[in-house]
Structure 1
Amino acid sequence: MIKKTFKYIAAAILITCSFTFVACGNQKADKGVFVTKWDNYYEGSNIKFYYEGADNPNLQKLRTKYDLDEVVKDSKDDFEKSIKLMNWVNSKMKYSKSSLSTKKDALTILKEAENNNTLSDKDFNIVYSQSAASLGIFARRGEFRVKNSQADGEDSYFKVCEVWSDKYNKWIMLDVVNNSFMESNGVPLSAIEVLNSQLAGVNTQGVKNKEKYIKKLKPYMYSYSIEIDNNIYGMPKSNSFITYINGEQLPEIRIEGDIIRPTIFVKNDTLFNKSPRIIQQEQNAQKDKMPTLIFSKNNSENKKDGDNEIILNGAAFMDSANIEGYYISIDNMEWMEVKSYFTFSLKEGENNIRFSLDGKKLIREVIIEYKK
C-alpha cells in the first residue's frame, strides 16, 4: 500500500535499501535487490557541483603547515603541480588494504601518518583532494565499481581522484595510492575516458608492472561515481552521487553496512566532463525534459531486529527541485495521486513502480526484484 508519508529526502536522487551483503568473491549474488528495468536515467544538465575552495581556513592551515607551495614550486603548469603533489602524498603516507578510514579531513589523517600508521585508499584521496584544493586546484574524489557489487564486499570499489587541468581543459584521473595516471597518445585521461576505453590502448605511468596493474583494474570498469558536493568542511549542500554506467548495463543498488549511497544514474557522460569553472558561473542550463523518480530508504522506528523488510520512500524531481502533484502506480495497481512523497514496501519478487504526471501517460518505470 502506498502511504503519503515521508520523513526526509535530500535534494537529489536517493536509491537505497536496508540489508546485509556477504562478500563472496567475484560471484553473482543470489540474495538482495536487483534492478531488472530502469527507465529512469537522468538526462538533464541542471545539477550543480560544489568544490572546496583555497580560502577555507582549514585548507589555508594545511597549505601553510606542510608548505605545499614549496612542494609544487617550479611547476610548468597545473598538471605538473598535480603530479608533484601526488608524489608528496605518497612520501607522507603508507597504504594498507586492511586499514580502516576513521578520519575525515587531511589535517587529522596526516597527523595519523606522522605516527607511522598505515592508511586507507579513502584517506589517501582525502589528503590529496584537500591538498590540491588548498593550492587552488579543483579536485574531486571518484570511485570505480565492479558489476554484481552485492557479492564482492570490500573489493567492489577502486578509489581515485580527479583534478581539473586548464592546460588540457579537462579532468584528469590520478590513482593516488599507486602514484600513477593513464594517458593516450601523450594526453592524460579522465576517469570517464578510462572507463569508456575499457583500458584498451591506454598507457599507464608510474607503475612498474603495467600488465598486472591493468589486469587488477579491469573488473572495476563497470561504473564510475563522483560526489555532487566535494566539500568536507562546512554544512553539506548535497549527500548524493552521480554514477555513469558504460554501455547497456543496468544500474545496481547497493548499501555498505549502514551507509546510504544516494545515486543519480546517467548514461551520458556530459556531467562528468564539465569544467568546474563553467559550473560555478551557473551559466544558462537547459531545462529538464521530464521528471525523474527519487527513492530513499525509510528508517522505520517500528522495525524489529532481524526484520528484513525494505521500505522505500519515493518522490520526483525536475530542474533540481522536488515536484508536487503527480501519479504513482505500484505493481500495476490504479494510479494514485501523490502530493509530494509516497512510501511502499518491497515484496519478495518483482516490484513495478510507474510514474505519470496526469495519471494516464506513463513517463517513468522501474522494476526492482527483491530476493530474500
Structure 2
Amino acid sequence: MIEDMLRTPAAVQDAERHTAHNYHPLPVVISAAEGAWLTDVDGRRYLDCLAGYSALNFGHRHPALIAAAHAQLDKLTLTSRAFIHDQFADFCRELAALCGKELVLPMNTGAEAVETGIKVARKWGYQVKGVPADQANIVVAEGNFHGRTTTIVSFSTDSDARADFGPYTPGFRIVPYGDLSALAEAVDEHTVAVLLEPIQGEQGVVVPPADYLPGVRRLCTERNVLFIADEIQSGLGRTGTTFACDQDGVVPDMYLLGKALGGGIVPVSAVAADADVLGVLKPGQHGSTFGGNPLACAVATEVVRLLATGEFQRRSTELGERLHAGLRALIGKGLVAVRGRGLWAGLDIDPALMSGRDACERLMARGVLAKDTHGSTIRLAPPLVITAEEIDHAVAQLAAVLAG
C-alpha cells in the first residue's frame, strides 16, 4: 500500500542507503518549502502539520528570519566564545527580557540545553544550597522526553530511548507526571531541582492537571529546589502564550529553550535564569564552540523580536481553538481522545481502526504530513503561520482517513 502512495521510491532508498537507521521517516523526499507548505522532488505539495517538532513555529523560510540569516552570512558566522561578536549582546539581552530573567547561556541543541540545566542545578545545589558533594538528586517525570544523550536517557522511561545504552547516570528520581503527592514524597534535602515539561510532547501532548504546575512551583519554593521548565517544544508561542508555563501563571527558576529559537534555520538553544542560579558558572566550567555564534544570534534575535509583538501567540490561541474544535468533532468517529493547547494536539486513534503510523501514511497520501508516536497516537503541530482554511483542510483530510 505504501509503495502505491509513494511516487519516488528510488529517492527514498537512496536517502537511506548510507544512513544509520535511527529514524523511521515517512517515505517522502522534500526539496522545497514555504510557509506551512512542503514540496517533494516530484512537485507534489504537502501541508506541514509537524513543523519540525516545533522548530518551525514561524513556518518555512519566514522572510524576516531568512533576511537576518542572509545579512549575517555576508559578514561573520563564527568566532567561538573566545571573543565577543557584535550580535551577542542584543541576543542575550532581548531573550533575557522575553523570559523575564537576568542571564542567558546560549547553546546549540535542545539536549545541550537540558544537559546545561542539569549541570547548573547540581552546581547550584552544592555551592548555594549546601548539598554534600556528589549527593545531589533531580526529580523528573515518567513519560518525559528531554533528549537522547547518555545522561538524559538514564532517566527516560521509554524503552526505545533507554535500552542497551547503560551504564546509566545516577542522581535522578522518576515520579508519575501530574502527581503532586508523589513529587513531594520524592523531594528530600539533597534534591536540587525538579525538571519537567509543562506539556509532555513526545508522550502525546499530555497536559497535566490544572493545579499541577502551580503546585510544583509552591513545592519548589518551600523546599528550596529549582523548578526547571523544559520549554524546548512547548515554548515560544506554540501553546498560545510565549511559554506553556504562562498558561498556568507559573514562572520557573530556569527555562530550557531550543527548536523554534533557531527559526528553522540554525540549531539554537539557551538556558535562561537569574544571576543567583546561572551565576554559579565560572569561566572554563561549561561552554560550546558554536553556542551563541553570530549566525545563530542574528536569527534568534529576530525570533525574539517576532515573539515580542504577540502576533504569533494570538494566532496560536485563535487558530488553536479552531483546530481543537474540529478535532473534538471527530471523537467517536475514529478518534477516542484529543489533548493539547494552542496549535498543538495529541490524537488517540481507535487502535482497532489503525495505528498512528498507518494514519500518517494515509494522511501523507492526501497531502498532509504529521507524525505518529506511541502506537495509535499522532501529533499535530502546524506552523503558527497556518491559516484557518488550511486548518480546516487538515481536519477534513484526517476525517477522510478515519472514515476509510
Specify which structure has the higher proportion of strand: 1
Comparing both chains, which one has the higher relative contact order based on Cα–Cα distances under 8 Å and sequence gaps of 6 or more?
A: 1
Fold match (TM-score > 0.5): no
Specify which structure has the higher proportion of helix: 2
Which category describes the TM-score, using the shorter chain as reference length? under 0.3
